[in-house]
Amino acid sequence: MENSTLTTLKKQVFIEHEKEGTYLTLPFSMPDDIEWITLTYNYAGFDEKETALENGSFVARQQINIIDLGLIAPDGSQVGASGSNKKEITISEVYATPGYKTCALLPGEWQIIVGAYKVAQGGVEVNFEINLSKKHRRLYKGDLHVHTLASDGVFTVEELMERARKLGLDFIAITDHNQMVSSDSFPQARDISVIPGIEYTHYLGHSNFLGVEKPYDDPFIANTLEEVRTRFNSAHERGALIGINHPFQEGCEFKFDLNKIPFHYLEVWNGPMRESNLKAIGLWQQLLTAGKKISICGGSDFHRDDIPFIFMGGPTTWVYAMSPSRKDVLAAIRAGHAFISYAPHGPLVEMTAGEAILGDSVDWTKEKELCIEADHLLKGDVLRMVTETESKILLEAPSDGKCKLSYTKESPGFARIEILRVLLPGIPRLPVLISNPIYFQR
């Protein structure tokens, strides 16, 4: 944890004996963009003196002060309460100490509930320490397309989380066919964000609606384009991130006109790299060349263990997000701050043009230089730059490890990275990484 992102506030309150049996509140100010809060408190609970009895024994120390804890958000809602039982609590959008809600830490005046359950004759001083960690951009990885036994998968959400944890993933999206999920039913974990989703599955195409629990009013059935559009428009209005899944997968191609429905990203990489994914990348390249800005992501479409080459995290979507919360992860995907690699161990890429990262737009008249760093390469990997006019090999890795390169953008348009690898002897190199572009506008 980087210290520059951490702010510590100290608060103190003296409670007189007369206040015993009442609740006090202690305000503090929550700044913007806080990722997590940890609050600890201390007071003298026990009388320090032990009393000697005439027969030479001592009575146990008496608890003379008991102070309860709770927290109220700026809108007046109760975030949680823990009696006197917990001396430290943590809250974020991903995790909260039991007794408290996971929630966005909205800026404004928060109130600590100070419950004066028992207060000694002389009163008691209570000291609070509040640690606030500011959101900042980091790289997180996950899988945006997995099924549970609620549709045709075989694992529970909990089992998938355990698997994701072993793979080192930071987030997974649960995308069962035409099944709404309540995120209240997800087990809570400090280390994994579980994104509620649905794979809206129609005989003419599949789409992911991510991040909202009820993207449309059920049922899912729709027999006309107009009825299908109603579902998409509703998902869009309710704030879902909409992805077009495996557009060329044999048997479940996406047959609706992409110009007639709202969507945010193309799932150009579904499961193992193969012809249908290469076609999807080709479609995306055409759209980019036509001047569209479209984000991409990947998903394993993992259902169970007995399907060859399909495993969770194959592919892995990597996002530059402000926190691991589902909201920040989805915002990063929407913005194209992402790349896809074939497995949770990479490879990895970072590409910048000045301050701009993947998915951003820059003014080409002011910024033409790209800086590219790749890692977890294997000897022989080929790194190529793909633009609206060329596909240029920048490097064939001479050894395993990292590389750093630069590239000058000669015209407005876009620039994106692909890394290709020989995965099986005798078979041409296939992509093991695809990045979103940086866009260059005139």
Binding site for Zn ion (CB under 5 A): 199, 206, 245, 301
Q: Strands 193-202 and 171-177: what pairing?
A: parallel
CA 244/CA 312 separation, integer angstroms: 19
Q: Which CB sits closer to Zn ion, 206 or 409?
A: 206
Quote the least distance from Cβ 190 to Zn ion, whole Å: 28
Quote the least distance from Cβ 175 to Zn ion, whole Å: 6
Number of residue whose CB is nearest Zn ion: 206
Given a contact cutoff of 8 angstroms between Cβ atoms, the answer to whether 134 and 35 are in contact is: yes
CA 375/CA 139 separation, integer angstroms: 13
CA nearest neighbour of 142 among 328, 329, 284:
329
Q: Which CB sits closer to Zn ion, 267 or 350?
A: 267
Q: Where are the beta strands (DSSP E) in 170-236?
A: 171-177, 193-202, 205-210
Q: Which CB sits closer to Zn ion, 152 or 390?
A: 152
Q: Which CB sits closer to Zn ion, 35 or 199?
A: 199
CA nearest neighbour of 206 among 149, 159, 147:
147
Count Cβ atoms below 10 Å from residue 5 Cβ, excluding itself. Answer: 14
Q: Which CB sits closer to Zn ion, 170 or 199?
A: 199
Q: Where are the beta strands (DSSP E) in 262-347?
A: 265-270, 295-299, 316-321, 338-341
Count Cβ atoms below 10 Å from residue 425 Cβ, excluding itself. Answer: 5
Quote the least distance from Cβ 328 to Zn ion, whole Å: 24
Question: Any residues with CB less than 8 A from the CB of 377 and at least 6 apart, and which?
Answer: 347, 383, 397, 400, 401, 402, 403, 419
CA nearest neighbour of 130 among 110, 106, 108, 107:
110
CA nearest neighbour of 143 among 161, 127, 158:
161
Q: Which CB sits closer to Zn ion, 143 or 418?
A: 143
User: How does DSSP classify residue 437?
Assistant: P
3-state secondary structure at position 147:
coil
Q: Which CB sits closer to Zn ion, 148 or 323?
A: 148
Quote the least distance from Cβ 176 to Zn ion, whole Å: 8
Quote the least distance from Cβ 255 to Zn ion, whole Å: 13
CA 26/CA 34 separation, integer angstroms: 19
CA nearest neighbour of 315 among 146, 160, 201, 148:
146
Q: Which CB sits closer to Zn ion, 116 or 181?
A: 181
Quote the least distance from Cβ 177 to Zn ion, whole Å: 7
Q: Which CB sits closer to Zn ion, 100 or 171?
A: 171
CA 365/CA 351 separation, integer angstroms: 19
Quote the least distance from Cβ 174 to Zn ion, whole Å: 11
Q: Which CB sits closer to Zn ion, 102 or 178?
A: 178
Tokens of 52: 């000697």
Tokens of 191: 């280390």
Given a contact cutoff of 8 angstroms between Cβ atoms, the answer to whether 215 and 234 are in contact is: yes
Quote the least distance from Cβ 279 to Zn ion, whole Å: 16
Quote the least distance from Cβ 270 to Zn ion, whole Å: 8
